[in-house]
Every structure is written in structure tokens, then in C-alpha cells.
Homo-oligomer: A and B are copies of this chain.
Amino acid sequence: MAGPERLSESQVSDSLKALPAWELKGGEITKLYKFKDFVESMAFVNRVAALAEEADHHPDILIRWNKVTLTLSTHSAGGLTQKDFNLARSIDGRRDARPG
């Protein structure tokens, strides 16, 4: 089964424009989220986990009390693919859709 194709630099750059606050770092994309406290961080992480399982694509997740850092890349492709940007959009879409 062929995996997703690695994106070119210009494709990555274009995809990032639509994702505010996501940054390119060492061939991965990463975003820092800040919350009120640890409980809110964990609620967010559990929502991300459900989306990741649904997509069968899993970010690295670092939780530091009220801060959560997500890092995405596609190991099987050795870089960034559409799967990474799809999941990033899905995470931020659902998050932004919450009232308040």
C-alpha cells in the first residue's frame, strides 16, 4: 500500500499559510496551545486523541500543565504530507468551533 506523498517545500509553505500559529520546525509542523489549567489541557488532549485515532495519524503531544504542544510529521514518508495538514486543520476546526 502506497503511503501519502511527501510535500514539496512550496506545497508546505502554501499549506502553512492557512494554518495560523502552526510553525515549521526541523521538518515537522508544531503548534503551542495555552489553556486555563491542566484539566483544560487534558480535555483538549483527549479531543486531539480521538481525532488522531479517527485519522489513524498521531501527533507527538507534550503537556506542560496549561500548555500543550502538538508536533506533526509523517514518519513513513520521511517528512510532511497532506495527512499532517489534514489533521492540523481538523484539530483547529473542531477547537475553534467550540462556543466561547
Contact = CB atoms under 8 A, between A and B. Distances in A.
A25 to B, nearest CB: 15
Contact of A64 (B38, B49, B60, B65): B60
Given A38-B52, A38-B53, A60 B58 contact: no
Interface string A55-70: 0001011111100000
B42 A46 contact: yes
Contact of A63 (B38, B53, B60, B64): B60
Contact of A62 (B46, B58, B61): B61
Lowest 10 A-B CB distances belong to which pairs? A61-B63, A42-B49, A62-B62, A60-B64, A58-B65, A38-B58, A38-B53, A39-B53, A60-B63, A38-B52
